[in-house]
């Protein structure tokens, strides 16, 4: 059969770094195996918070990348960092800029939409595109898909990595936040009207997205996945200390404070562990968190680094004795969160300290893969006890690799996720799917 060509619209694509890049990057890698060649539409330079030019070497040969002009806010720093770095009258300017960014709808990437839509329409017409796939966040990507689909008639699949409305980092007790959410709900319904199909990383997000639609369309949960090949070049080596590693950023309600309070409490209980334990943060702290952490007097037990290139981050994960996964409760929203970081940690096959809602999706997945170091992310006493169990297991030389069973490994592999997405693309274009996955198959 003839091959199809899909245009993937993604705000995050190399040289952007961070976890938001990898779902699309892996689709670029594996979709061609299932009959789909890939073009990508991405911004030229939005000055992402995470910038990692080394990831450009992972863009497969044959993928054509279309760059659309970006004129939106500068994302090289978080809002908190911008305000903290400002001095004098510059503080007023920084606060105004952050406030202005928050007023953009549906999100801060909105000014990119007209430029991206124009570039995308030209790509569809010039490249023989058969389907458009938009990946969010930011949700502005779906506005772009809406315009391209209406102007060209090409079927559009909307892929959700996060909820559009249930953001765990928003404070919904505030009237202004609730009002903005009502506006976003209306935007979502109007935007999604022409979508041919929906995909999402969790059932909860998929069901929410189905509620935006005025008509039934094919929908499928396609979770994030593991690319075990990424870790093939690295191996774990023992050291004189138990090395805990957290890779990623802190923003919104995600905070390192409960973990560090737990470490401080454990050191007070067992002072000798100061020479045994090392907690490493790769990705940096917010200024306020750094200042607070320094007041705990943890000394060399805690190290904080900025962003590392992705390959160095993977190496650090494999070398760590345990990886720290932090998903906040966020008034119950955290129970449904299954971030890409969960799968990247699983692929490293190192023990995972899961500071996640104990009855949530992330905890269930960790347990199914053999990880039982789980504590409520807000319960300092529970975290303290879990870290102590982890330390004692390491001292007893019982903290080895956590090898994922073959059946689960095959189900979590990124290649399987791409096969599922290829089946969705085949469904909306009327093509024959390559491979055994069909739209109604069980994950």
3-state class (DSSP) for residue 43: strand
Assign 3-class secondary structure to 340-408. HHHHHHHHHCCCEEEECCCCCHHHHHHHHCCCCEEECCCCHHHHHHHHHHHHHHHHCCCCCCCCCCHHH
- Could you tell me the pLDDT band of residue 103, with boundaries at 50, 70 and 90? low
The highest-level CATH class for domain 228-395 is alpha beta
- What is the arithmetic mean of pLDDT over 297-312? 93
**Share of residues in the chain with pLDDT > 70 (%):** 88
Residue 77 has pLDDT above 80, yes or no: no
Q: Provide the pLDDT for residue 217.
A: 96
Query: Between these two residues, 91 and 2, which has the higher pLDDT value?
Result: 2
Q: What is the mean pLDDT of residues 49-54?
A: 86
- Counting residues of the chain whose pLDDT is more than 90, the rounded percentage is 72
Would you state the torsion angle of the CA atoms of residues 156, 333, 371, 385, taken in this order, to the nearest 10 degrees?
A: 160
Same topology, domains 4-72+109-225+413-429 and 228-395? Answer is yes
Residues 6+ apart with CB under 8 A from 332: 357
Instruction: Catalogue the E-assigned strands of 193-340.
Output: 197-200, 219-221, 242-247, 277-282, 302-305, 322-326
Beginning with the edge strand found earlier in the chain, give each strand of the sheet holding 4-10 in spatial order.
Answer: 64-68, 36-43, 4-10, 131-136, 156-160, 197-200, 219-221
CATH architecture of 4-72+109-225+413-429: 3-Layer(aba) Sandwich (3.40)
91 pLDDT band (50/70/90 cuts)? low
> What pLDDT is recorded for position 286?
85
Specify the pLDDT at position 11.
95
Residue 95: its pLDDT value, please? 61
Task: Map residue 304 onto helix, strand or coil.
Answer: strand
**Across residues 198-226, what is the average pLDDT?**
95
> Domains of the chain: which residue ranges?
4-72+109-225+413-429, 228-395
| Confidence tier at 442 by pLDDT (50, 70, 90) | very low
Q: Which pLDDT does position 432 carry in this prediction?
A: 82
Report d(CA 345, CA 272) in Å as an integer.
Answer: 29
Q: Global pTM? A: 0.88
* DSSP for residue 413: B
Averaged confidence pLDDT in the chain: 89
Instruction: Give the position of tokens 């090409």.
Output: 154
Query: What confidence tier does 441 reach under pLDDT thresholds 50, 70, 90?
Result: very low
pLDDT tens for each residue of 147-191: 999 999 999 999 999 998 876 555 555 676 666 677 888 899 999
Q: What tokens does 61 get?
A: 């040969």
Q: What is the pLDDT of residue 349?
A: 95
Q: Which two tokens stand for residue 129?
A: 């595109």
């Amino acid at each position: 059969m003839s091959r199809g060509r899909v245009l993937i619209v993604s705000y995050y694509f190399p040289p952007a770094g961070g976890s938001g890049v990898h779902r699309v990057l892996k689709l670029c890698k594996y979709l061609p195996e299932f009959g789909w060649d890939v073009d990508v539409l991405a911004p030229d330079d939005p000055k992402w918070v995470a910038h990692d030019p080394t990831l450009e070497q992972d863009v497969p040969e044959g993928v054509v990348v279309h760059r659309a002009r970006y004129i939106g806010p500068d994302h090289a720093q978080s809002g908190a960092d911008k305000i903290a770095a400002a001095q004098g009258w510059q503080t007023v300017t920084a606060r105004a800029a952050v406030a202005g960014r928050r007023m953009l709808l549906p999100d801060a990437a909105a000014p990119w939409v007209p430029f991206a839509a124009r570039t995308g329409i030209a790509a569809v017409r010039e490249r023989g595109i058969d389907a458009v796939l938009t990946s969010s966040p930011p949700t502005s990507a779906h506005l772009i898909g809406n315009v391209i689909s209406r102007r060209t008639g090409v079927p559009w699949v909307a892929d959700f990595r996060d909820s559009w409305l249930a953001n765990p980092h928003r404070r919904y007790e505030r009237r202004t936040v609730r009002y903005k959410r009502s506006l976003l709900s209306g935007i979502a319904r109007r935007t999604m009207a022409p979508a041919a199909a929906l995909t999402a990383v969790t059932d909860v997000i998929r069901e929410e997205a189905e509620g935006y639609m005025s008509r039934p369309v094919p929908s499928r949960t396609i979770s994030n996945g593991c690319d075990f090949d990424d870790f093939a070049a690295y191996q774990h080596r023992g050291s004189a200390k138990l090395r805990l590693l957290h890779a990623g950023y802190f923003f919104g309600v995600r905070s390192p404070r409960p973990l560090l309070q737990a470490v401080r409490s454990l050191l007070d209980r067992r002072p000798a562990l100061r020479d045994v334990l090392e907690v490493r943060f790769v990705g940096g702290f917010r200024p306020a968190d750094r200042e607070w952490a320094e007041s705990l007097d943890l000394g060399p037990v805690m190290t904080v680094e900025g962003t590392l290139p992705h390959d160095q981050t993977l190496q650090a994960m494999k070398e760590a004795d345990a990886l720290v996964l932090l998903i906040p409760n966020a008034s119950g929203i955290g129970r449904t969160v299954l971030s890409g970081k969960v799968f990247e940690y699983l692929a490293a096959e190192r023990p995972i300290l899961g500071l996640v809602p104990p009855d949530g999706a992330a905890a269930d997945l960790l347990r199914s893969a053999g990880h039982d170091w789980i504590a409520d992310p807000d319960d300092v006493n529970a975290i303290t006890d879990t870290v102590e169990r982890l330390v004692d297991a390491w001292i007893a030389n019982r903290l080895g690799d956590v090898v994922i069973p073959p059946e689960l490994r095959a189900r979590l592999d990124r290649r399987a996720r791409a096969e599922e997405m290829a089946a969705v693309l085949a469904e909306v274009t009327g093509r024959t799917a390559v491979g055994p996955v069909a739209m109604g198959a069980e994950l």
